[in-house]
Amino acid sequence: MKRTLRVGIAPREAIARYTRDVVAGHRRRTSDDPDIWFTSLDSCAKDMSERVPRGGTVKTVILDVRDFGETIKDFRRVLKTGKRERFARISFASPELLWKVLTAKRWELLKALCGAGPVSIREAARRVDRDVKAVQNDITALLNAGVVDRAPGGGVVFPYDAVKVEFLFRAR
């Protein structure tokens, strides 16, 4: 069974107050409360980059913006060397296309599907607290873009535990 690690980022004083309240019985932990706390994104990134996950490796996908030539160059290198990429990659031709496919609601949906295994459309809608028809439309767009896959036996799957987004803006 997969477990979600919930991460909280808050000032040191807020973390201390939360901990005191839980220990004193003034507050009960809920399933939505963070399992681990950090005082900044930087401290979280540093700590997480130094850890090896229990039970294996994290399957990461990189969503990036790059031209077709770069993609072909990487493909040829993999064919020539036989060494596969460290991460899976889904590339978009432009930042505009990336943001058109990955709207705010679809990002929310991807977060709910990340590491979850096969999920029905109805369950995905429940997880993001949205209408089933609207989620169906977003899933169709993500399927068409190759971001999610149909699961054997029904539903959809986003077969990654982590997502990294990369793109570079250059002065013209």
Residue 158's Cβ-side half-sphere holds a number of Cα atoms within 13 Å equal to 28
Q: Of 122, 109, 123, which Cα lies nearest the Cα of 158?
A: 109
Using 70 as the pLDDT threshold, list the residues of the chain that sit under it.
Answer: 1-5, 41-58, 79, 84
pLDDT tens track for 106-124: 999 999 999 888 999 999 9
Q: Walk me through the domains of the chain, giving residue ranges and CATH numbers.
A: 7-49 (no CATH), 60-166 (1.10.10.10)
Q: Of 25, 50, 61, which Cα lies nearest the Cα of 146?
A: 61
Q: What CA–CA distance (Å, rounded) separates 164 from 168?
A: 13
Q: What is the pLDDT of residue 170?
A: 72
CA angle 149, 150, 156 (to 5 degrees): 85
Q: Is the pTM of this model over 0.85?
A: no
Q: Is 141 exposed, middle or buried (0-12, 13-18, 19+ CB in 10 A)?
A: middle
